[in-house]
Amino acid sequence: MAKCVKIFDTTLRDGEQSPGCSMNLTEKIEVARQLELLKVDIIEAGFAIASPMDFESVKAISGAVKDATVASLARATYKDIDAAYEAVKDAVSPRIHTFIATSPIHMQYKLKMKEEEVIERVKEMVSYAKKYCSDVEFSAEDASRSDKAFLAKVIETAISAGATTVNIPDTVGYSTPDEFAAYITYLKEQVPNIEKADISVHCHNDLGMAVANSLAAVKAGATQVECTVNGIGERAGNTSLEEVVMGIQTRKDYYDAATNINTRQIYRSAKLISAITGVSIPPNKAITGANAFAHESGIHQHGMLQNRQTYEIMTPESIGKPAIQMVLGKHSGRHAFEERLQILGYQLTKEELDCTFEHFKLLADKKKSITDRDIEALLANKKVQIHETYTLERFVINSGNTITSTAMIKVKCGDDFIEKVATGDGPIDAAFKTINQITEKNFILNDYVIHAVTEGEDALGEAVVKLHLDGKKATGRAISTDIVEASIKAYLNGVNKLIV
């Protein structure tokens, strides 16, 4: 019988730490609910002691999630573990995840501790966490650069103290598949109480081997993989959830393993994370990229027409990406629209459906044909909406290669209307400067991206901006058939988030 590999998703903790991937509370709860639909086993909601906002996020997610374990990260200190428990204690299934480094370089330069001191700290802190919570995970940070014999002692100590999961991280992406698998094999053979805990792995992608290392560990006996949707995370990122899951599912014959993941929610999850973070999925990204199931070569197309398995080892439908694109238009009714949403994997409340259908009809008046990608963009745009301090009323742009670009923008703020004019180096620069004048704040633009959602002259333009103000960062996003309008709305969306 195939073993079950638990999926520990750290998109909301390690993934959110990635530069440019910060989320507000509303977005984090939206992601957590999508992860429930995806049926991940454990959701790492955050690092509770990192800040009051992190604590509140973990606490809110713990209250919202009903079908998965919710974990909070904690260093091996009393204060961290106290904060972690207070944040997750109301979860249906809480977990405290505590860690300490075990590699010589980390112990010497970061911890300034000797091996004996680390072992004693592990025993003390895991035991302390166990008094709060029956489900305790212990991580040996930088395990892949640790002495194997010492690592085995640490893991044995953690399990004896009450750890139910022991995590072996490749923290800096240093290991190779054969080498990492050997670590798991060694621990299974040398740790006498290893059968009392799940063996977890947490790999980073610095050398591009996070997924390969994680799968090699599964083959060697690991029973939990820590990963993120789209592989987001610090530096080069984390193990990609979708790649590990589909790797295990597609090669059940090799790994003799399975997961509890609802793979038909993979595409939906990937698109949601991309929309919220503003980080696009590369077209050649395995599993979820736009080209993952595209076949242009004549030889490939011929083979596909004869039998899809000639060049497809999995189907688009298996990850929730419809193979057949349906085109809707202004004459399409609510029933057809709602049915298409269900096929695309969206589950909306009546209020959300009413709002989205209204936006769909407005878009249908501007576009002759609306594809699945247009619908996905509409829904993604809905997900990032928050309370709007400033709402766009109208704008006028005057620009050309022989004049100075000028933008006039009028917004609604509460019961008042504010109208300002500014000049800039091009229409977008002028528009953004005008908004800064309206708000009387100097928002700094870190990044600005615009691209067409679909093909054709009437394609939707999607604008994404990354702003910061007084040390706080936010991603703004908007769509429109007018790219200037999309840019202005995206900037306002980011401004509203920072003000909130």
- What's the 3-state SS for 13-43? HHHCCCCCCCCCHHHHHHHHHHHHHHCCCEE
Please tell me the least confidently modeled range out of 39-43, 216-220, 404-408, 481-485.
481-485
- pLDDT-based confidence at residue 384 (cuts at 50, 70, 90): very low
Structure-token pair, residue 131: 């008094």
**pTM of the predicted protein model:** 0.84
pLDDT at 308 (0 to 100): 62
Q: Furthest-apart CA pair in the chain: how many Å?
A: 78
Which pLDDT belongs to residue 346?
A: 78
Helices (H) and strands (E) in the chain, counts: 17, 16
User: pLDDT grade, residue 307 (50/70/90)?
Assistant: low
> Which H or E run includes 351?
helix 350-364
**Residue 204 DSSP code:** B
| DSSP bridge partners of 475 | 466
Other C-beta atoms closer than 10 Å to the C-beta of 177 total 18
> Does residue 401 or residue 332 have the better pLDDT?
401
Residue 200 vs residues 12, 171, 196, 228, 368: alpha-carbon distances, Å: 18, 13, 13, 14, 51
pLDDT of residue 193 exceeding 60: yes
User: Residue 222 pLDDT > 70, yes or no?
Assistant: yes
Beta-carbon count within 10 A of 416 CB? 7
pLDDT at 297 over 60: no
pLDDT (0 to 100) of residue 68: 98
pLDDT tier, 302 (very low <50, low <70, confident <90, very high otherwise): very low
Q: Minimal CA–CA distance to 248: which of 274, 271, 269, 222?
A: 222
Predicted pLDDT at 60: 98
- 295: pLDDT strictly greater than 60: no
pLDDT > 90: percent of the chain: 71
* pLDDT beyond 90 at 161: yes
**What pLDDT does residue 72 have?**
98
| Alpha-carbon gap, residue 341 to 320, rounded angstroms | 12
Average pLDDT over residues 326-349: 79
Q: What was the pLDDT predicted at 296? A: 46
Separation CA 348–CA 299 (nearest Å): 41
Does the pLDDT value for residue 364 go beyond 60? yes
Percent with pLDDT over 70 in the chain: 94
Top pLDDT among 334 and 427 is at 427
- Strands (DSSP E) along 125-164, which ranges? 136-141
CA pair distance 352, 124, nearest whole angstrom: 49
